[in-house]
Amino acid sequence: MIGRRNLLLGLVAAGTGAAAQTSPPRRDGRTVAGLGEPSETIDLWPRGAPGAPRVLPVEVVDERSKDADLTDRAVHGITRPRMVVFRPAVPNGAAVLVTPGGGYRWVVIDKEGYEVARWLSARGFTVFVLFYRLPGEGWAAGPDVALSDAQRAMRLIRQRAREWGVMPDRVAAMGFSAGGHVCADLATRFDVPTYRPIDDADRLSSRPDLAAPIYPVQSMTPPLAHPGSRTLLLGADPTAALERAHSPAGNVTRRTPPTFLVHAEDDATVPVGNTLELRAALVAAGVPVETHLFTHGGHGFGLRRAMGKPAASWPDLFLTWTKSMGLA
């Protein structure tokens, strides 16, 4: 019997003659009506993730929910970065790479990953939830380690697009909180070399066709910076130059993809100024941007915590926007 906490992930074969793929974490024996679990995973690095620390972290899933009918899993110690795939019954030809948040301490896979993926896949999108490596766990890429995984993920989606019924020029990125930083980093630094190419997939672009950072950690400069994310990404005492280099607003160019922004004015964890600063940079660069600010919502509302509030409309607003931009 596997305990509810400290669930170690094993490896399973992806099929006869196939390379081993890392299995998705399971629900501690619980079944939740109507909520399917993904069965398909894609490991990003066939020969192991680059720049591994001498002592690898141990991958652990913490189940934080006390509700038997609702999971809230947080994963840390990720050593085999991967995507889990949510395939729609009727593909619309578009894909979304989702990067959940977690303050760069862990990756919150349910409320900012699987729940969003189910909603999007029910509307025709093929969705890939990214289990990305964490910058405070000793990887050689340091603050670029999650970006490396996001770049590689986008390239693999494009390489295998036909397999998933996806058009390679209709691939969006969406991220939440610290995962919003990963998303915005990808949207602004997609062409920055963060790892040595390993195969033909790395010849492809990692630029998202659209980007949606949702209540993103964005600025690395106080007072806007989220202290915990900043420390885990850049260390305890980063230079001003390092802060600027990893603040997406400072990296916006005309090639940054059209962007959809969402934030709550009463967010006490990641100030709304993060989104406003990013929006101003996008407007200055001439990048199309749609922005939705809600009076109430706090931080980390995703889908479940937005219910009954005006902020609950953000997924439908995103869907309408993707249609207007030619993605969906």
What confidence category does residue 27 fall into, taking pLDDT thresholds of 50, 70 and 90? Answer: low
Dmax (CA) of the chain: 56
The residues spanned by each domain of the chain are 35-56+78-324
| Average pLDDT of every residue of the chain | 90
**In residues, how long is the chain?**
328
Domain 35-56+78-324 superfamily per CATH: Alpha/Beta hydrolase fold, catalytic domain (3.40.50.1820)
The model's pLDDT over 262-285, given as tens digits with 9 standing for 90+, comes to 999 999 999 999 999 999 999 999
Start-to-end Cα distance in the chain: 43
CA distance 78 to 132: 7
The model's pLDDT over 116-152, given as tens digits with 9 standing for 90+, comes to 999 999 999 999 999 999 999 999 999 999 999 999 9
User: Does 182 have pLDDT greater than 90?
Assistant: yes
Lowest model confidence (mean pLDDT) among 73-82, 142-151, 304-313:
304-313
So what's the pLDDT on residue 33? 43
